[in-house]
Copies of this chain bind each other. A is one copy, B any other.
């Protein structure tokens, strides 16, 4: 059964849901929210439990909260680990990837270069060595936990793709394991297909930021 994702015309809080549905091989289409009226209608119809996007309709459910959506689909495709030890590691590393990712979430909303300068000064030198080390400790096989893709990888992938696109591959040069991880992820057939599809939104630009603000405020 296919899913329908409701979100703005950009990545934002929905990108982890898109990446996870892609990796879990769940077909989905995108309902783009461009006008305040659409958003208000969804809220008044009770479709958004906390009055927020993204929301995913799937099998009669209205899934909200981006991490919950990701865990739900990851669970369907056995991407949460196969034993308690793996499940714990994947959960912790996914949460860490969310903290790391939050450094880039406001790109365009509180400036463009400002956000990147701050991420280069704080989040990147903090998190990249840690994830590089975890990839090494797991055997340098391109995965954070075990020997296949997990939600932890999907979480890290979102951030590393952002860094590559917004700051360039050179930023990853000191982190050989992260580079190897990125190659492994991009060679995943499902991930590759999604990243090269029209479902993958463009990076934030001024038009997107203005559209989101016009819906929310």
The number of chain A residues with a CB under 8 A from chain B is 23
A65-B96, A96-B65 given; A49·B130 CB < 8 A:
yes
Chain B neighbourhood of A88, CB < 8 A:
61, 63, 68, 72
A95–B71 Cα distance when bound, in Å, is 12
Q: Is the CB of A50 within 8 A of B91?
A: no
Is A126 positioned at the interface, with any CB of B under 8 Å from its CB? yes
Chain B neighbourhood of A64, CB < 8 A:
92
Q: Is the CB of B92 within 8 A of A126?
A: no
Q: How many copies does the complex hold?
A: 2
Interface residue ranges of A25-71 to B (CB < 8 Å): 49-51, 61, 63-65, 67-68, 71
Taking a contact as CB atoms closer than 8 A, the residue among B68, B75, B95, B126 that contacts A65 in the complex is B95
A169–B95 Cα distance when bound, in Å, is 34
Is A86 positioned at the interface, with any CB of B under 8 Å from its CB? no
A91–B64 Cα distance when bound, in Å, is 10
CB A26 to nearest CB in B, in angstroms, measures 15
Interface residue ranges of A66-104 to B (CB < 8 Å): 67-68, 71-72, 75, 84, 87-88, 91-92, 95-96, 99
Chain B neighbourhood of A96, CB < 8 A:
49-50, 65
CB A82 to nearest CB in B, in angstroms, measures 15
Q: Is the CB of B68 within 8 A of A99?
A: no
Smallest CB-CB separation from A91: which chain B residue?
B68
Q: Is the CB of A71 within 8 A of B91?
A: yes
A91–B63 Cα distance when bound, in Å, is 10
Chain B neighbourhood of A63, CB < 8 A:
88, 92
A99–B91 Cα distance when bound, in Å, is 18
Chain B neighbourhood of A95, CB < 8 A:
65, 67-68
- Would you list 13 pairs from A and B whose C-beta atoms are within 8 A, ordered by A residue? A49-B92, A50-B96, A50-B127, A50-B130, A51-B126, A63-B88, A64-B92, A65-B91, A65-B95, A68-B88, A68-B92, A71-B91, A75-B84
